[in-house]
Chains A and B, each alone.
Chain A
Amino acid sequence: MSTTTLPAPLPKVETPFRRFVSEFCESPLAVGGLVVFAIIALVAIFAPWIAPQNPYDLAVLDIMDGRMEPGSVGGGGYTHWLGTDDQGRDMLSGIMYGLRISLLVGVGSAFIACLVGASLGLLAAYAGGRTDSVIMRVVDLQLSFPTILAALMILAFLGKGIFNVVIALVIVEWAYYARTVRGSALVERRREYIEAAICLALPTRRILFNHLLPNCLPPLIVVGTMQIARAIALEATLSFLGLGVPITEPSLGLLIANGYEYMLSGKYWISFYPGIALLITIVAINLMGDQMRDVLNPRLKK
């Protein structure tokens, strides 16, 4: 957005993006989070090629291999480094594939919710009046409704399935983006450049997306990052309550839920390792989001 060669008032050319990168890198925690997240994402993407087993194929599972301790060798002839679950699913493979589902659900729902929410938020801020108040009442309504309950209801209605979980998460999350975007768009709308654009009679769509949106991006990015983490945690909770993804294609949350029953009897690995994977993923994302918020918050600028 700032690649145009305007005469810079400062002697040193510093794009906002570069400044953002350098400030982001000030926090080793955040950089660590980024690195970890990148590794997790790679593992998730390439799971079918690197996982020792396809945990979704019932034909390769055998309940006689069920609940084996980490490090034991099962009927498949290879070592289960993290043990197996009750169905004889290799936990390492299960976690890799589970990460795929969790990330897909988290990123997918956050992205779609962002698209929907940001558009409506912009529209509300720009149009004002009745449109604004209708949209914002719906936002209020949505925000006033407990996320977990809304998701429960929606899933009870839609039934299980990864796609349905994404839909449910979009429905419960879009309002956050709408409110965030509207808030910053309202501020931007009063600025001279927008008034100028309106005076020039530029098309509404262009004003919205070319002028208003880019300036609302920073808070949106922060909210988006945090919402990915939230969505992953929410999906885990829903799966735990028995309403998330199908049992044959477990996400991290479902793996945890499946394994928890075995915790008391000492078979910790079924629940523990997916729990750690979930924790690391969410913490990595939140570490990044946290630093981004600090960097992008103008009020904290020294």
Chain B
Amino acid sequence: MRLTISAIAMACTIGAASAQNLTMAVGAPVTSLDPHFHQLSPNNAVAGMIFDRLVNTDAQARNVPGLAESWSAVAPDTWEFRLRRGVRFHNGSEFTADDVAFTFGRVPNVPNSPSSFAGFVRPITRIEVVDSHTIRFTTNGPYPLLPQDLSNVYILDRETHANATTEQFNAGPMAVGTGPFRMIRHANGDRIELERNDNYFGEPPAFARVNYRMITNDSARAAALLAGDVDVIDQVPTADLARLRTDPRVTLAETVGLRIIYLSVDHMREDSSPFITDNDGRPLARNPMKDVRVRRALSMAIDRNAITSRVMEGSATPAGQFLPPGIFGHVPDLGPPAFDPEGARRLLAEAGFPQGFRVTLHGPNDRYPNDGRIIQAIGQMWTRVGVRTAVEAQTWTTFVARAGRAEFSAFLIGWGSNPDGSHPLRNLIACQSRERGWGNSNRGRYCNEAMDTRLMEAMRTLDNGARERELIALQRLIFDDQAIIPLHIQTNIWAARRGFVVTPRADELSLAQSVRPAVAR
């Protein structure tokens, strides 16, 4: 029996290996081919096929040489990047340091951009083109994150793109980069057709032609794979995982991602919080969420394993911190809080709520895998320890605006981290500050000035070892204080038909160069 299956698999593999074409379906629509117009994962994925960055990232989200072969801080406030020679754009134009300078000038000035890349080049105060393939960036004080930031900026050509508009990128003529694929056709919201760039400086892609389709409906995408219409899909719906794992026609590629799903609570209000009442429905005099014992109790009441195994069907790992192992800033031996309903009841009683209280847990229902289901499951668990929980799921559009205005008492949300411990700290935990540009997604309004001061110092430490130690210490501090209640880190999953192998990426990007024909063993 096993022999037959592997024989069939082999036959399929051979058949597919000779194929030159790849059809892949992605779950999120690509809105623009202008790599500087809208900072959005699906757009970045397409840009990652057509264009290159100075610093590329590998599947484990590590920085690797891209258009820059190497980089180093030549002075505390100056980074030097040495560029790759002999690289040409798809139209034959040569890549030089001048193109980098041009690109960094364009990034903050793309008209009508709803979410620009300007933040990545803002730390740079001066650009100096040393020679045709060396460039120096001066920053305002030491800035260790520059290479990380520049791994988000796609490089354009001064000769080609001097006056390029977003529309010209979308229509095709300006979608010219140095990347492994060249763009052939773009049917907005439907598909992008790509062709192999035979002069690519890196590893040549395996497929001569790629049909990159957008199928946003989860079930439809999985159905398209099973029906054989597409070879690879991303964002595999968790409901289909059980079946796909046992389906001999399909292989899954999984890796732990960088997106954490967590609960945020109201740290802002000292007195009554809008969605918390006593058991008779009357507002409470004080906000229980301000008490760390209550926050800890709520965290202990959650059976994370039940959520990841039952609701997420194994496509997530219970989490006690932002980042998975192996990522810069991961805290060693800080595991997920243990499930302890008895302890949770005790802590609640200690905090003065022996009878519990009532709370409404909010969350989106169309944003993260199973988001609506997770909050219902947590509602069950909290209710069992005496915190009677009502659950309200809303569409992301409504939810995120209200969460941003800190209207909720407790809510579920997710965060995709850069592979750097300071990123979640700066954006989710640090006090909201316009001047520092911090606390941008701090929707619970947690604020700990001492942490911020230490973080600021860490952000000026060029020594990676010292900086990581400090980031780890800061994370221990805020998780001890239950600034947020971490739930789990999602697993990124791709599914491929037999004959195709996908290298799963931690950063969720679905790239055609990550797919190869299976090698017959």
**Contact call B379/A63, Cβ cutoff below 8 A:** no
> Could you tell me which residues of chain A, from 62 to 103, have a CB within 8 Å of some CB in chain B?
62-64, 66, 86-87
Give the residue among B380, B397, B398 with the most A Cβ atoms within 10 A: B380
Contact of B239 among A160, A248, A265 (CB under 8 A): A265
> Could you tell me which residues of chain A, from 36 to 64, have a CB within 8 Å of some CB in chain B?
58-59, 61-64
Chain B residues whose C-beta falls within 8 Å of the C-beta of A276 in the assembled complex: none
**Contact call A160/B394, Cβ cutoff below 8 A:** yes
In the complex the two chains form, what is the Cα distance from A208 to B328 in whole Å?
77
Chain A's closest residue to B372 (CB) is: A247
In the complex the two chains form, what is the Cα distance from A77 to B93 in whole Å?
73
Q: Looking at the assembled complex, report how far the CB atom of B217 sits from the nearest CB atom of chain A, in whole angstroms.
A: 10
Give the residue among B223, B239, B377 with the most A Cβ atoms within 10 A: B239
A282, CB-defined interface residue at 8 Å = no
Chain A residues whose C-beta falls within 8 Å of the C-beta of B219 in the assembled complex: 260-261, 263-264
Q: Give a binary string over B218-231; 1 marks a CB under 8 Å from any A CB, 0 the rest.
A: 11001100100000
Chain A's closest residue to B241 (CB) is: A265
**Contact call B365/A63, Cβ cutoff below 8 A:** no
Chain A residues whose C-beta falls within 8 Å of the C-beta of B390 in the assembled complex: 248
Chain A residues whose C-beta falls within 8 Å of the C-beta of B391 in the assembled complex: 58, 246-248
In the complex the two chains form, what is the Cα distance from A266 to B242 in whole Å?
10
Chain B residues whose C-beta falls within 8 Å of the C-beta of A87 in the assembled complex: 373, 376-377, 380
**Contact call A156/B397, Cβ cutoff below 8 A:** yes
In the complex the two chains form, what is the Cα distance from A236 to B389 in whole Å?
26
**Contact call B392/A66, Cβ cutoff below 8 A:** no
B350, CB-defined interface residue at 8 Å = no
Chain A's closest residue to B239 (CB) is: A261
Contact of A159 among B218, B372, B389, B394 (CB under 8 A): B394
Chain B residues whose C-beta falls within 8 Å of the C-beta of A265 in the assembled complex: 239-243
**Contact call A261/B237, Cβ cutoff below 8 A:** yes
> Could you tell me which residues of chain B, from 382 to 419, have a CB within 8 Å of some CB in chain A?
383-384, 388-395, 397-398
Chain B residues whose C-beta falls within 8 Å of the C-beta of A263 in the assembled complex: 219
**Contact call B395/A58, Cβ cutoff below 8 A:** no
Chain A's closest residue to B237 (CB) is: A261
**Contact call B243/A264, Cβ cutoff below 8 A:** yes
Contact status of A264 and B226, CB under 8 A, knowing A63-B306, A87-B373, A242-B395: yes
Q: Give a binary string over B354-394; 1 marks a CB under 8 Å from any A CB, 0 the rest.
A: 00000000000110000011001101100110001111111
Give the residue among B223, B377, B397, B398 with the most A Cβ atoms within 10 A: B377
Chain A residues whose C-beta falls within 8 Å of the C-beta of B366 in the assembled complex: 242
B327, CB-defined interface residue at 8 Å = no
B311, CB-defined interface residue at 8 Å = yes
In the complex the two chains form, what is the Cα distance from A159 to B311 in whole Å?
26
Chain A residues whose C-beta falls within 8 Å of the C-beta of B311 in the assembled complex: 63, 66, 86
Q: Looking at the assembled complex, report how far the CB atom of B400 sits from the nearest CB atom of chain A, in whole angstroms.
A: 13
Chain B residues whose C-beta falls within 8 Å of the C-beta of A61 in the assembled complex: 376, 380
A243, CB-defined interface residue at 8 Å = yes
Chain B's closest residue to A67 (CB) is: B310
A111, CB-defined interface residue at 8 Å = no
Chain A's closest residue to B364 (CB) is: A242
Q: Looking at the assembled complex, report how far the CB atom of A5 sits from the nearest CB atom of chain B, in whole angstroms.
A: 57
**Contact call A86/B373, Cβ cutoff below 8 A:** yes
For the side of the interface on B, what is the size category? 35 or more
Contact of B395 among A243, A262, A266 (CB under 8 A): A243
Chain B residues whose C-beta falls within 8 Å of the C-beta of A248 in the assembled complex: 376, 379, 390-392
> Could you tell me which residues of chain A, from 81 to 130, have a CB within 8 Å of some CB in chain B?
86-87
Number of A-B contacts (CB under 8 A): 76
Contact status of A266 and B243, CB under 8 A, knowing A59-B380, A64-B310, A261-B218: yes
Contact of A264 among B222, B380, B384, B389 (CB under 8 A): B222
In the complex the two chains form, what is the Cα distance from A242 to B363 in whole Å?
13
**Contact call A66/B310, Cβ cutoff below 8 A:** yes
Q: Looking at the assembled complex, report how far the CB atom of B36 sits from the nearest CB atom of chain A, in whole angstroms.
A: 31
Chain B residues whose C-beta falls within 8 Å of the C-beta of A86 in the assembled complex: 311, 373
Contact of A58 among B222, B240, B380 (CB under 8 A): B380
**Contact call B239/A264, Cβ cutoff below 8 A:** yes
In the complex the two chains form, what is the Cα distance from A260 to B240 in whole Å?
11
Q: Looking at the assembled complex, report how far the CB atom of A251 sits from the nearest CB atom of chain B, in whole angstroms.
A: 14
Chain B's closest residue to A66 (CB) is: B310
> Could you tell me which residues of chain B, from 211 to 259, have a CB within 8 Å of some CB in chain A?
218-219, 222-223, 226, 237, 239-243
Q: Looking at the assembled complex, report how far the CB atom of B375 sits from the nearest CB atom of chain A, in whole angstroms.
A: 8
In the complex the two chains form, what is the Cα distance from A105 to B73 in whole Å?
66
Chain A's closest residue to B383 (CB) is: A59
Chain A residues whose C-beta falls within 8 Å of the C-beta of B226 in the assembled complex: 264
**Contact call A247/B376, Cβ cutoff below 8 A:** yes
**Contact call B379/A58, Cβ cutoff below 8 A:** yes
In the complex the two chains form, what is the Cα distance from A243 to B384 in whole Å?
29
Contact status of A261 and B240, CB under 8 A, knowing A160-B394, A247-B365: yes
Chain B residues whose C-beta falls within 8 Å of the C-beta of A247 in the assembled complex: 365, 372, 376, 391, 393
Interface residues, chain A, CB within 8 Å of chain B? 58-59, 61-64, 66, 86-87, 156, 159-160, 242-243, 246-248, 260-267
Interface residues, chain B, CB within 8 Å of chain A? 218-219, 222-223, 226, 237, 239-243, 306-307, 310-311, 365-366, 372-373, 376-377, 379-380, 383-384, 388-395, 397-398
What are 16 A-B contacts with C-beta separation under 8 Å?
Answer: A58-B376, A58-B383, A58-B389, A59-B384, A61-B380, A62-B380, A156-B398, A159-B394, A160-B393, A242-B395, A243-B395, A247-B372, A247-B393, A248-B392, A264-B219, A264-B226
Closest 10 CB pairs of A and B: A261-B239, A265-B243, A58-B379, A59-B383, A63-B377, A247-B393, A262-B239, A63-B310, A58-B380, A247-B372
Q: A248-B379, A265-B241 are in contact. List 7 more A-B contacts (CB 8 A).
A: A61-B376, A63-B377, A64-B306, A247-B393, A248-B391, A264-B239, A265-B242
